[in-house]
Structure 1
Amino acid sequence: MIQPQWLRTFEALVELGNFTRAAERLDLTQAAVSQHIKHLESRLGPLLLRQSRKLELTPAGHALLDYQRELQAADQRLQQRLAGDDATRGELSLITPGSIGLAIYPHLLALQREAPGLTIRHRFGPTAEVIDAVLDNRAELGLATRRPDDPRLSVSLFTREALELVVPAGERVDGWDDLVRLGFIDHPDGHDMATRLLSRCFPGNPGIRRLPCHGFTNQIGLILAPVAEGLGFSVLPRFAREAFAKSEAIRVVKGLPAVVDSLWLLHRAEWPLSARASRAVEWLSVRVVGASSV
C-alpha cells in the first residue's frame, strides 16, 4: 500500500508546481518532499518531468493523481456517511473566486460559530479550478463566474456582481485624461475587467494598455490598498470593494454604464447536496444574495 503522506506530498507538488511551495504547505523540508517523490518513483516509475520552469506529469503521474483523487472522494463519502446527514456536523467544502469569497467568508464563520460541529474548508480559485474541484469531488460546492456546460454539474444562478471603477477618495474622473493622470493598479483579471468596463464608459479610448501602470498585486484583498494611498485607480468586482477595510479612503465612480457578471452555484448533479451544504446555501442566500443589489 502506498503511504498516504507520500500521496499528499505528490498532490501538493502537482498543484503548486514547485518543491519549495509544496514543502511550505505541508510543513515539511524540501528534502522530505523530494524523498517522498523518490519513494513513489521507485515503486511506480517516473512520475514527473522536471523542466526549467514547470513540472509535467508522465502517464504514470496522471494515473497516480487520479488514484489520489479517487481515494479522497471515497474518504469524503465515507466521512459523510459516518457523520449522517446532519446539518450541524461534519465537513463542508467549497471553492470560490476571490471577490465573492471575501463576501461570504465572514458569513461562513458565523455559520460555524452557530454550529461548532461543522468543519468548513473554503478555498479561493479561478473559475476553471472551481469547476475541476467540484467535478473531482474535492469540493462539494463551488461558485463560478461563467456557467459551465457539463451534464455532471447542477448549475443555478447564485447572485450578480457589478464591476466598479474605484479611485482615491479625493479624486474625480470626468474623462480618460483623469485615468491617465491617476494610473492603473493592475491585478490578474485587471486588464479584462478594465477593458470591459472602460470600453463602455469611455468609447473610443486608446485601451487599458496605454494607461500608465502604477502597481500590481495578485491578492484580491490588497488590490485597493494602493488606491487608498492615492497611487492610482483600479477596476474590480463590487464584493471585493465592499470587503476593503478602509472604505473612507476610496470612492466608486458613479453614473457609469453597468457591467454585471453572474455568479453560478455548482455541485455534482448525480447525488443530492448534504444537509450541511444545503444549510450553507440557504444561510448565504439570505445574508449575501438577499442583502445585495446591482
Structure 2
Amino acid sequence: MNEFDPAALDCLAALADEQGFERAAQRLAITQSAVSQRLRGLEAQVGQPLVVRSRPLRLTEAGKVLLRFARQLQALRVDVARELGERVAPQSRLAIAVNADSLATWVLPALDGLVQQGLREGYGLELVVDDQNFTHDRLRQGAVLGCVSTVAEALQGCRVQALGVMRYMAVASPDFLAAHLPDGLHVGNFADTPFLVFNRRDDSQLQWVSRAFGVRSPRLRERFVPSSEAYVNATVMGWGVGVAPEIQVRPFVEAGRLTVLKPEIGVDVALYWHQWQLQGRFALLDQIGQALAEGAQKALG
C-alpha cells in the first residue's frame, strides 16, 4: 500500500472532529472543495468509503482505522516539532477522553502544568468527556489518543496503567433527610426515595442500593442531572439522594451541608489510563499519562 497523504489524513481527522465539511474546512483554513478532493483521494487509495455523508457526518469502520493512524501521525509531528525547538502548528491538538467525575475533581490539577506548557509551545490538549465505561470506545474508534477508563485490559497496540480507585458514597442534605427520611434510608423506603442520576449510563446508584440492602436489580425513582458539579449542587439543594465521588463531596460533608448515608457502604471504581503506541514513543502522550498517574495518586491515594 502506498504512503497516505498527510494532508488528506488531517482532513479525515478534522471531519471526524467537526462532523461536517464546512467546519472542517474552516479549521484547516482551506476550501470545502479541497477537503472533498483530499477525502476522495484517500478513499480511492483504500478502495472504500471512509465517511458516511450524513448529518452529523460519521466515519465508516475503515475511516476509524485511518483516523487512529491520523491521530498517531499528528502526535508524532508534535513530538518532532518540540524536539527541534519549533513552534507546533496552530491546529495541532491531542485529544484524550476522561470521565466527568474525574474531570470535576482531579484531572484539571493533574494536567495544569502540561496545559500551561502547551500555551507556550503552541499545541493544544482537547478533553473529550464520556462515561468512564465508554471512554475506551472512543480510543478504539480512533477519536482520541488516550483515555481514562474502567477497562483494565489494553487494546492491541495500546498500553495501560492503573491510576487508582475512586470511591463513591451515598449522600443527602440534612434538610432532605429531615423532610423525607426521618427514619433514615432503609430497605422499606429506598424505592420511594428520589435518587439523582448523572445519565442513563450511570448505574452507581443501583450498585450502592444493591450493596446496602442486598437487593438484586433494584428499581429507583430517578432524577437526571447530567453534570458532575450540578449533580452535587442538586444534592446539596435537597433534590434527592446522590451517589458521588467521596473526594468531591468531602468539603460539603465537612461543612455540614451533606450527610453520608451508611458510611460503611461505598462503590469503588478502579480507573486506568490507556494510550496508543506506535513505533518508538509519543513523548508528549507519555507525559500526559505520567501527569495523570501522579495526579490520581495524589487525589485518590
Same fold per superposition (TM over 0.5): yes
SS of match in other structure, 1:224: helix
SS of match in other structure, 1:148: coil
Q: Say yes or no: does 1:197 pair with 2:208.
A: yes
Q: How does 1:178-193 map to 2 (within 5 A)?
A: 179-180=190-191, 182-188=193-199, 192-193=203-204
Q: Which residue of 239, 256, 263 maps to 1:255?
A: 263
1:261-280 deviations in Å (ceiling 9; x for gaps) = 21112123555654444444
User: How far does residue 153 in structure 1 lie from its aligned partner after superposition?
Assistant: 2.1
Distance 1:279 1:288, change over 3 A: same
For the residues of structure 2 that align with 1:270 and 1:4, how far apart are their CA atoms?
Answer: 16
Unpaired runs of 5+ residues, structure 2, are: 178-183
User: How far does residue 179 in structure 1 lie from its aligned partner after superposition?
Assistant: 3.7
Q: Which residue of 150, 155, 158 maps to 1:150?
A: 155
Q: Contact (CA 8 Å) 2:195, 2:242: kept in 1 or not?
A: yes
For the residues of structure 2 that align with 1:268 and 1:81, how far apart are their CA atoms?
Answer: 17
Q: Which residue of 227, 238, 254 maps to 1:219?
A: 227
Q: How does 1:83-94 map to 2 (within 5 A)?
A: 83-84=82-83, 93-94=95-96
**Alignment length (residue pairs):** 274
For the residues of structure 2 that align with 1:111 and 1:135, how far apart are their CA atoms?
Answer: 24
1:216-248 deviations in Å (ceiling 9; x for gaps) = 13223322232221111122333554698x975
User: How far does residue 110 in structure 1 lie from its aligned partner after superposition?
Assistant: 4.4
CA RMSD of aligned residues (A): 4.5
User: How far does residue 286 in structure 1 lie from its aligned partner after superposition?
Assistant: 3.8
Q: Which residue of 212, 233, 240 maps to 1:232?
A: 240
1:242-261 deviations in Å (ceiling 9; x for gaps) = 698x9753333242333312
Q: Which residue of 79, 97, 100 maps to 2:99?
A: 97
Q: Aligned residues: percent identity? A: 13
Q: Say yes or no: does 1:76 pair with 2:75.
A: yes
Alignment-mate amino acid for residue 203 of structure 1 = G
1:186-238 deviations in Å (ceiling 9; x for gaps) = 2225652112111110123781x2x333x213223322232221111122333
Unpaired runs of 5+ residues, structure 1, are: none
User: How far does residue 66 in structure 1 lie from its aligned partner after superposition?
Assistant: 4.1
TM-score between the two structures when normalised by the length of structure 1:
0.69
